[in-house]
């Protein structure tokens, strides 16, 4: 397909995002194509490992291409969104549990759906340009694509902080928070890719000393609050408070609960199943359509949040679905 270059080179299966003008946004067909490639290479003796990279300087993958989900939801068709999220999450789990090494070279923006692809690889490489974030609270969604799993394993209250604010991490922060493994300048990437695909071995991958992490020294104790309201009461005036005041109250309340619940999960599938409970209902029962309208469609940056952020509403959004459309048991 035009948006991905999927091929075998040397000992490697190669997946390259090829829509840089769209910041390599991940569409439903792209998620299905990645899944199909990984399935075909799982038992292929010619493929020792997988390399995922992207064309363009600005983004590895800046998120999911959700325009179709938005327009279908506006028309009352909620199946389009459910099917997209379902297949995307299955692909995320495949990457996380893949039996062969997956090496992700992540430059520029890595957000939302991009984290779902690169963030679960076995070898996650970042550079000086890398900016990783889960900004879903700003569009009325929750950190998904296994984002709650990653956030729940970040040190201290970093997970809550990133989930509520959607703050961007540079390479040092990404390494500290557990969203990346190796810092390697991009000038070294072409030679490394050539070596890895030639040998089918990751032994040549060696990171440079990590850049400093501002998150490591940041006082995030306020994000230990019981709920977003208590957190905001504890925050001083500044950018973090202003961000929380702009974001969807329901998204923040649900996201906070989900990151904390994910700390008890044994497998990423449990976190993904919980995320799907919210996103399967998102176009019909949350602020998601309004958030997408304000931030992406009309771009007026003035969402009118109307969804309640009560405990009862959060429980309803995260209640078990009638059918487990993800294809696995949450308690597995």
SS3 205: coil
Question: Rounded distance, CA 96 to CA 210, Å?
Answer: 24
pLDDT at 167: 97
Q: CB neighbours of 294 closer than 8 A, spacing ≥ 6?
A: 300, 301, 302, 303, 304
Report strand pairing: 109-111 vs 131-133. parallel
Work out the percent of the chain whose per-residue pLDDT is above 90. 95
The reply to whether 224 falls in a domain is: yes
Q: Which H/E stretch holds residue 139? A: none
**Is position 202 within any domain?**
yes
Structure tokens at 122: 């076995």
Q: Which helix (DSSP H) or strand (DSSP E) does residue 9 occupy?
A: strand 4-9
> Which pLDDT value is given to residue 208?
95
Compute the distance between CA of residue 116 and CA of residue 244 in angstroms, rounded to an integer.
24
Measuring CA to CA, how many Å separate 209 from each of 43, 49, 186? 36, 25, 14
CATH number, domain with residue 186: 3.90.226.10
Give the whole-angstrom CA distance, residue 331 versus residue 88.
20
Question: Could you tell me where the DSSP H helices lie in the chain?
Answer: 28-41, 67-74, 79-96, 113-118, 147-152, 158-165, 171-177, 189-199, 228-234, 239-246, 249-262, 268-285, 288-292, 311-317
Token digits for 60?
């590895």
User: What is the tens place of the pLDDT at every residue in 154-172?
Assistant: 999 999 999 999 999 999 9
Q: Tokens representing 290? A: 């309004």
Above 90 in pLDDT, residue 324? Answer: no
Domain assignment present for residue 61? The answer is: yes
> For 1-11, what is each residue's pLDDT tens digit?
789 999 999 99
Average pLDDT of span 268-276: 97
Residue span of the structural domain in which 301 resides: 4-317
Helix (H, G, I), strand (E, B) or coil at 10: coil
Judged against a pLDDT cut of 90, whether residue 325 lies above it is answered with no
Residue 227 domain-assigned (yes or no): yes
**Number of structural domains in the chain:** 1
pLDDT beyond 50 at 330: no
What mean pLDDT, rounded, does the chain reach?
A: 96
Local confidence band at 322 (pLDDT 50, 70, 90 cut-offs): confident
**3-state helix/strand/coil string of 159-192:** HHHHHHHCCCECHHHHHHHCCCCEECCHHHHHHH
CA angle 169, 96, 142 (to 5 degrees): 50
- Residue 271's beta-bridge partner residues? none
**Segment 80-132, tens digit of pLDDT:** 999 999 999 999 999 999 999 999 999 999 999 999 999 999 999 999 999 99
Residue 330 in domain: no
Whose structure tokens read 């439903």?
28
CA distance 269 to 94: 10
- For residue 323, what pLDDT band results from cuts at 50, 70 and 90? confident
In a domain, 136, yes or no: yes
Q: Would you say residue 239 has pLDDT above 90?
A: yes
- Whether 332 maps to a domain, the answer reads no
- Residue 326 in domain: no
Which residue shows structure tokens 């440079």?
A: 208
Q: Report the alpha-carbon distance of residue 76 to residue 68 in Å, rounded.
A: 12
Cβ atoms of 127 and 186 within 8 Å: the answer is yes
Q: Phi-psi region for residue 220, left (φ > 0), alpha (ψ -120 to 50) or beta?
A: alpha
Give me 187's structure tokens: 């000038």
Is residue 150 pLDDT above 90, yes or no? Answer: yes
To the question of pTM greater than 0.75 for the whole model, the response is: yes
pLDDT band for position 19 (cuts 50, 70, 90): very high
């Amino acid at each position: 397909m035009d948006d991905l270059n999927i091929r075998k080179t040397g000992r490697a299966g190669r997946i390259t995002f090829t829509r840089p003008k769209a910041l390599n946004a991940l569409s439903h067909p792209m998620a299905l194509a990645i899944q199909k490639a990984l399935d075909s290479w799982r038992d292929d003796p010619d493929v020792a490992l997988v390399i995922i990279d992207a064309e363009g300087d600005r983004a590895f993958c800046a998120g999911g291409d959700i325009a179709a989900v938005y327009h279908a939801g506006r028309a009352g068709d909620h199946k389009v969104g459910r099917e997209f999220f379902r297949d995307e999450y299955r692909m995320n789990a495949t990457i996380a549990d893949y039996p062969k090494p997956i090496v992700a070279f992540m430059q520029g923006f890595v957000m939302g759906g991009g984290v779902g692809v690169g963030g679960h690889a076995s070898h996650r490489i970042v550079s000086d340009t890398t900016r990783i974030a889960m900004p879903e609270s700003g569009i009325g969604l929750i950190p998904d694509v296994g984002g709650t799993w990653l956030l729940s394993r970040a040190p201290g209250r970093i997970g809550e902080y990133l989930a509520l604010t959607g703050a961007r991490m540079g390479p040092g922060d990404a390494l500290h928070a557990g969203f990346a493994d190796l810092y390697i300048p991009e000038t070294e990437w072409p030679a490394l890719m050539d070596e890895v695909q030639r040998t089918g071995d990751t032994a040549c991958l060696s990171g440079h000393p990590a850049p400093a992490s501002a998150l490591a020294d940041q006082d995030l104790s306020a994000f230990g609050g019981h709920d977003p309201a208590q957190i905001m009461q504890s925050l001083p005036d500044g950018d973090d408070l202003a961000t929380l005041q702009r974001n969807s109250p329901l998204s923040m309340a649900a996201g906070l609960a989900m990151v904390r619940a994910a700390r008890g999960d044994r497998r990423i599938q449990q976190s993904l199943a919980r995320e799907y409970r919210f996103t399967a209902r998102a176009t019909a029962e949350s602020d998601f359509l309004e958030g997408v309208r304000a931030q992406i469609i009309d771009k007026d940056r003035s969402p009118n949040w109307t969804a309640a952020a009560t405990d009862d509403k959060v429980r309803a959004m995260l209640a078990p679905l009638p059918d487990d459309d993800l294809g696995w048991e949450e308690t597995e």
